[in-house]
Amino acid sequence: MLSSGLIVTVAGLYLGGLFLLAWYTERRVDRGAGRFVGSSLSYTLSLAVYCTSWTFFGAVGSAARNGLEFLTIYIGPTLMLMAWWFLLRKLVRISKAQRITSIADFLSARYGKSAWISALVTVIAVVGVMPYIALQLKAITASFNALSDNPDFPPGPAGEHGAFGDTGLWVAVCMAAFVILFGTRNLGADERHPGVVAAIAFESIVKLFSLGVIALFAIYGLNDGVRDMFYRAAEYPELQRLYMFSPGFEPRWVATIFLAAAAMICLPRQFQVAVVENSDERHLATASWLFPLYLMLFSLFVIPVAITGVTHLPQGANPDLYVLTLPLRFDHPYLALLAFIGGLSAGTSMVIMASIALSIMISNHLVTPLLLRLPRFSQPGSGDFSGTLLAVRRMSIAAILILGYVYYRAITSTNPLASIGLVSFTGVAQFLPALIGGIFWRNGTKAGATAGLLAGFAVWIYTLLLPNFANAGWPVASIVTEGPWGIEMLKPDAMFGLAGWDRLVHGLFWSLTFNILFYITVSLFTEQSAIERLQSAVFVDIFQHNTANVDDALQRSAHTEDLFRLTQSILGAERAYRLFRDYARRQGRRDHLPVPDPALIAYVERQLASSVGAASARTLVSRIVKGERITVEAVITILDEAQEAIRYSRELERKSHELEETAEKLRRANEQLRRLDLLKDDFLSRVSHELRTPMTSIRSFAEILVGEQQIGSMQTRRFLEIIQQESERLTRLLDEILDLSRMENGQVAWSLLHVDARDVARQAIAAMAGLARERGHRLIDNLGNRPLPVFVAPDRLQQVFINLLSNAIKYNDGPEPVTWIEAVETDAAFVEIHVRDNGPGISREDQEILFSKFARGWSEQARWQEGSGLGLAISRQIMVQLDGTLSLFHSSPRGSTFSVRLPRSGG
Amino acid sequence: MSPGRRYRDLAWILPLAGLLLFMPPYLRILSRDDQLFGIPVLHIYIFVLWLVGIILSAMVSRRLVRELAPGHDDAPPGLDRHESGPP
């Protein structure tokens, strides 16, 4: 046992240190130096405000009484954090964009900035959380009494000295003073309290550490390690539920996992730390694994304390206080003091955060709307409102703690800690349908949300709170035992005959059933107003819309002076001045008065909302602006039209793409046709040109022969020879044209044979040997000795070689003209022969038309040359018919190489 | 499937799988009077499952966090950042 004085001194020092920490942090943040405060670690630790004295004391009690069920309270949030990408991230993003200050503000902003909804949510939250605050008072009081030499041990809330002798009252008073000092030092630009968050984070470390120490003490101080602990536990049959589930555990197990997950976002203080105080979305990523780790460690520490409490303490000791009584009984008073501090930190952190969150809600959503109706505040610029607001906050904090104390005195004496907490969880879980529906379902209406909340709240009071009151001796016991007016079907713990279920599961099931039913049904049968539709679009599609565009589209007008005076009265002169000056600077203006464009009005409204909530801010702003109603409709249209337009333009884009492709195909086909047309014209003109030359000479010689009488017989003979030569040339030309056109039309019937391509090439060399010798041209046979079997028409292939050789001979006017005919090593499927010369080469433009008909015909140089100019075109056609290719392999001023390529025959 | 998309899928698969594995049927199977290293098998199942979930969650989050922009405060661009903090 320790003296009360010592405990009070230590607790006072601890709280004083906490206050210093908060004060110091805020100062550092003001200077922009708070590194730890903005970190994801402090964010995660501040989430651990979830672990209250219910966890610290109650979880051990719950484990000793009900076995592993206490784990659900920590598994639920684990799963909720793991799903951060879908839920918490969206909540945070929306709250940032809308300057949300609390969960009531969030729901009200979603459902048309309705003042009615935020007031309703505030009332539910206060009523729902009140038992929870009472629970903290109870836990701290009980732990104080257990630790001190207070004669009340085992503890009861009221001693013989009346209320003033009750430790609970003094705990409540201390807490109230503490929170007022802490949470309302100033009216934040947004509802962020970096100092408080730092203190909460610190408390999270303290409570985890102190429970860990007690757990280690239990395992190694009182038992001989883990194995020994479980070995001893086996002797106590009541401990079996700690490693085996009792039959019928399922409904409660599932229900409490769900409840705990919902509480993670629905409890006002959790919403405050997780969403409102979040300064960076990326902190969620860290918290998604670090916070589950924290919870897992906490749960891990609970088990040994619970087991050892049962095995080492006398029967009848209060399991909720095992954490304290274990070290006390085995004479470690300072360990017990550490445990007390842990419990104190768990309790205070919850009370601080919960009462800050609730006081913001009460002052913004219950008191401010009423104050704004007073004549004193209903005129713009009617004095400084921020002082009033702070006073309201302080009074709400005091009121919350007084209510908590009253509840604690009235009710909680008989219930274990854990069951009180779960009743609170179920109360705030009523926000869940409107919250989830609000961010994923566009068509939830204000009326639907109101109906759902009211129905769920009513059923919750009836099924869960009423039996508690009855237990406490209120005159409602007959309703609980017999049903209202004796109607059994409506009994609070067996509605519609659903008897035999656990009261919590039963109450949760019915309250949420009615809640969801009303929310959806009423939403389906009511219409959203313009502002509701705007807000629902902004909330549901937060990741798609750019909210700035919405601002610009809201065409409202106001006088800058009115806006300034309004801002000044709510936020104070200095902040208002800075806000307007900065905005004016951004607009590029010299003076401090910005142009009152719609974006400024929206910006001012959001800034006000960060102090008084969305609904009140809207009321205030709409008093001094004009022309909103029509334009909100317009915004909706813009939003809807924009989406329609995006869809439409995507469709158009797709279609125009298809059109483009078709046009391209057409263009290509047309191009080809035009080229063919050109080729045809070209061909005709060349043919007529080529025919005309011999015809002209035949005709002129014939005319001479007919007209001139004095020509000698020698000359006559010469003329006739020329006429004959020209006729032969004409015939050859016509033959070739016919030949070519037959091949092009595929009308050929050649007899194909298996031959050696070398033999064919050598025959061609032999045929050209005479011409070559005449020109002093050397033909070199490099065909080698390996056979090149092909399946061809031999004389046609020979024609190709002859054409190539004759070209090489004819066009080479160098001093030492040479042509090489060589076999080229290729793969097994083809044979290839190159005809290489050391002639002048073929110019680049000639290369392009080399294989077309009469390619050479135009060249003046070639005018005197023999041949029709069809040779290469025919050769190429021959090769095509033989399934081979003829191509210009290489050409430079030092010579050209033609390649003849044919499929190798198998035979 | 791109790696980013796989991780976005894991972001919903992971909590759902966790929920499923913490449901009564699995717990009932392990709700027996057996011990491993002197520790009840049910405890081992629950806490190992929990730890694996934490590790996977850390891996997924490390990947997803890259897709988030740093901060989304509503201060007009060009203004002193301090304006949106506490005065």
Structural tokens at position A135: 């629970």
- Higher-pLDDT residue of A598 and A285 is A285
pLDDT in the model for residue A433:
93
Q: Report the pLDDT averaged over residues A214-227.
A: 87
- Higher-pLDDT residue of A474 and A731 is A731
- Minimum Cα–Cα distance from A193: chain B residue: B86
Query: Minimum mean pLDDT among A36-50, A544-558, A591-605, A777-791: which range?
Result: A544-558
A189/B86 CB distance under 8 A: yes
Q: Is the pLDDT of residue A622 over 60?
A: yes
pLDDT one-digit tens code per residue, B7-38? 888 888 999 999 999 888 888 888 777 777 77
Helix/strand/coil (H, E, C) string of A312-326?
A: HCCCCCCHHHHHHHH
Instruction: Name beta bridge partners: A836.
Output: A820, A897
Query: Minimum mean pLDDT among A120-124, A626-630, A690-694, A789-793: which range?
Result: A626-630
Helix/strand/coil (H, E, C) string of B5-23?
A: HHHHHHHHHHHHHHHHHCC
- Higher-pLDDT residue of A71 and A583 is A71
Q: Are strands A830-837 and A818-824 parallel, antiparallel or unpaired?
A: antiparallel
Structural tokens at position A369: 């709307």
Q: Report the pLDDT averaged over residues A127-140.
A: 83
Cβ neighbors of B52 (< 8 A, separation 6 or more) are: none
pLDDT in the model for residue A154:
40
pLDDT in the model for residue B16:
92
Q: How confident is the model at residue A738 (pLDDT cuts 50, 70, 90)?
A: confident
Q: Report the pLDDT averaged over residues A864-893.
A: 79
Task: Transcribe A637-663 into DSSP letters.
Answer: HHHHHHHHHHHHHHHHHHHHHHHHHHH
pLDDT in the model for residue A861:
40
B72/A81 CB distance under 8 A: no
Rg (CA), chain A: 49
Query: Minimum mean pLDDT among A4-18, A221-235, A634-648: which range?
Result: A634-648
Provide, as residue numbers in chain B, all residues whose Cβ is less than 8 Å from the Cβ of A76: none
Q: How confident is the model at residue A435 (pLDDT cuts 50, 70, 90)?
A: very high
Q: Which candidate from A83, A285, A586 shows the least CB-CB separation from B78?
A: A586
User: Any alpha helices (H) in A217-240, and if so which ranges?
Assistant: 225-233
pLDDT in the model for residue A829:
83
* Mean pLDDT, all residues of chain A: 80
pLDDT one-digit tens code per residue, A466-500? 877 777 666 666 666 666 776 666 777 777 777 77
- Alpha carbons A177 and A315: distance in angstroms, whole number: 39
Length of chain B counted residue by residue: 87
Q: Which candidate from B24, B40, B76 shows the least CB-CB separation from A243?
A: B40
Q: Report the pLDDT averaged over residues A215-227.
A: 86
pLDDT in the model for residue A1:
61
- Contact of A217 with A431, CB cutoff 8 Å: no
Q: Is A891 helix (H, G, I), strand (E, B) or coil?
A: strand
B24/A250 CB distance under 8 A: yes
Query: Minimum mean pLDDT among A159-168, A448-457, A485-494, B73-82: which range?
Result: B73-82
Q: How confident is the model at residue B87 (pLDDT cuts 50, 70, 90)?
A: very low
Residue A120: other Cβ atoms inside 10 A: 20
Residue A771: other Cβ atoms inside 10 A: 15
Q: Which candidate from B35, B57, B74 shows the least CB-CB separation from A96?
A: B74
Counting beta carbons within 10 angstroms of the beta carbon of residue A750, is it exposed (0 to 12), middle (13 to 18) or buried (19 or more)?
Answer: middle
Q: Report the pLDDT averaged over residues A210-223.
A: 89
- Higher-pLDDT residue of A159 and A462 is A462
How much is the ipTM here? 0.82
- Minimum Cα–Cα distance from A254: chain B residue: B23
By percentage, how much of chain A surpasses pLDDT 70? 86
Q: Is the pLDDT of residue A539 over 80?
A: yes
pLDDT in the model for residue B55:
93
Task: For A323, list phi and psi in degrees, rounded to 5.
Answer: -55, -35
Q: Report the pLDDT averaged over residues A610-638.
A: 66
**Of A343, A369, A431, whose CA–CA distance to A129 is shortest?**
A431
**Of A368, A386, A387, A372, whose CA–CA distance to A624 is shortest?**
A372
pLDDT one-digit tens code per residue, A310-348? 888 887 778 888 888 888 888 888 888 888 889 888 888
Cβ neighbors of A588 (< 8 A, separation 6 or more) are: none
Q: Report the pLDDT averaged over residues A494-507.
A: 78
B74/A606 CB distance under 8 A: yes
Length of chain A counted residue by residue: 907
pLDDT in the model for residue B74:
41
Q: Which candidate from B11, B74, B76 shows the least CB-CB separation from A583?
A: B76
* pTM for the full predicted model: 0.67
- Alpha carbons A374 and A368: distance in angstroms, whole number: 10
B76/A582 CB distance under 8 A: yes
Q: Is the pLDDT of residue A149 over 70?
A: no
Q: Which candidate from A99, A189, A231 shows the least CB-CB separation from B85?
A: A189
Q: What angle do CA A500, A506, A509 make, to 5 degrees?
A: 140
- Alpha carbons A557 and A56: distance in angstroms, whole number: 55
Q: Report the pLDDT averaged over residues A787-795.
A: 88
User: Using CB atoms and an 8 Å cut-off, which of residues 227-256 of chain A contact chain B?
Assistant: 227, 230-231, 240, 242-245, 249-250, 253-254
Query: Minimum mean pLDDT among A145-159, A616-630, A793-807: which range?
Result: A145-159
The amino acid present at A866, given as its one-letter code, is: E
- Higher-pLDDT residue of A390 and A87 is A87
Q: How confident is the model at residue A34 (pLDDT cuts 50, 70, 90)?
A: low
pLDDT in the model for residue A57:
85
Q: Report the pLDDT averaged over residues A413-432.
A: 77
pLDDT one-digit tens code per residue, A373-421? 776 665 555 556 777 778 888 888 888 888 888 887 776 555 655 677 7
Q: Is the pLDDT of residue A265 over 70?
A: yes
Q: Which candidate from A286, A289, A586 shows the least CB-CB separation from B76?
A: A586
**Most confident range, picked from A526-530, A597-601, A628-632, A788-792:** A788-792
Distance (Å) from the alpha carbon of A228 to chain B's nearest alpha carbon: 8
Q: Is the pLDDT of residue A96 over 90?
A: no
Q: Is the pLDDT of residue A292 over 90?
A: yes
Q: Is A715 helix (H, G, I), strand (E, B) or coil?
A: helix
Q: Which candidate from B19, B46, B86 shows the least CB-CB separation from A79?
A: B19
Residue A281: other Cβ atoms inside 10 A: 19
How is residue A821 annotated by DSSP?
A: E
- Minimum Cα–Cα distance from A606: chain B residue: B74
User: Using CB atoms and an 8 Å cut-off, which of residues 9-68 of chain B contact chain A?
Assistant: 11-12, 14-15, 18-19, 22-24, 27-28, 31-33, 35, 37-40, 42-43, 46-47, 50-51, 53-55, 57-58, 60-62, 64-65, 68
- Alpha carbons A610 and A76: distance in angstroms, whole number: 31
Q: Is the pLDDT of residue A39 over 70?
A: yes
| Residue A86 touches partner B, C-beta closer than 8 Å | yes
- The helix (run of H) or strand (run of E) holding residue A830 is strand A830-837
Q: How confident is the model at residue A79 (pLDDT cuts 50, 70, 90)?
A: very high
Query: Minimum mean pLDDT among A83-97, A255-269, A860-874, A885-899: which range?
Result: A860-874
Q: Report the pLDDT averaged over residues A737-765.
A: 84
**Of A261, A256, A613, A253, whose CA–CA distance to A432 is shortest?**
A261
A289/B73 CB distance under 8 A: no
- Minimum Cα–Cα distance from B14: chain A residue: A82
Most A CBs within 10 Å, among B5, B10, B22, to test the A interface: B22
Q: Is the pLDDT of residue A623 over 70?
A: yes
Q: Report the pLDDT averaged over residues A678-705.
A: 81
State whether the Cα torsion A813-A817-A821-A827 is positive or negative.
Answer: negative
pLDDT one-digit tens code per residue, A42-60? 889 989 888 888 778 888 8
- Alpha carbons A52 and A262: distance in angstroms, whole number: 16
- Higher-pLDDT residue of A810 and A79 is A79
- Alpha carbons A787 and A793: distance in angstroms, whole number: 17
State whether the Cα torsion A803-A804-A805-A809 is positive or negative.
Answer: positive
Q: How confident is the model at residue B80 (pLDDT cuts 50, 70, 90)?
A: very low
Structural tokens at position A315: 């029967």
**Of A113, A170, A121, A98, whose CA–CA distance to A141 is shortest?**
A170
- Alpha carbons A808 and A826: distance in angstroms, whole number: 24
Provide, as residue numbers in chain A, all residues whose Cβ is less than 8 Å from the Cβ of B78: 585-586
- Alpha carbons A736 and B7: distance in angstroms, whole number: 72
User: Using CB atoms and an 8 Å cut-off, which of residues 606-665 of chain A contact chain B?
Assistant: 606
Provide, as residue numbers in chain A, all residues whose Cβ is less than 8 Å from the Cβ of B68: 89, 281-282, 285
- The helix (run of H) or strand (run of E) holding residue A667 is helix A628-707
Cβ neighbors of A656 (< 8 A, separation 6 or more) are: none
B64/A603 CB distance under 8 A: no
pLDDT in the model for residue B86:
34
- The helix (run of H) or strand (run of E) holding residue A103 is helix A103-110
- Alpha carbons A232 and A309: distance in angstroms, whole number: 12
- Contact of A118 with A365, CB cutoff 8 Å: yes
The amino acid present at A767, given as its one-letter code, is: A
pLDDT in the model for residue A75:
93
- Alpha carbons A57 and A36: distance in angstroms, whole number: 29
Contacts by A176-181 with C-beta closer than 8 Å and gap 24+? A176/A355, A176/A397, A176/A398, A176/A401, A176/A402, A178/A15, A178/A19, A178/A348, A178/A352, A179/A351, A179/A352, A179/A355, A179/A356, A179/A397, A179/A401, A180/A394, A180/A397, A180/A398, A181/A19
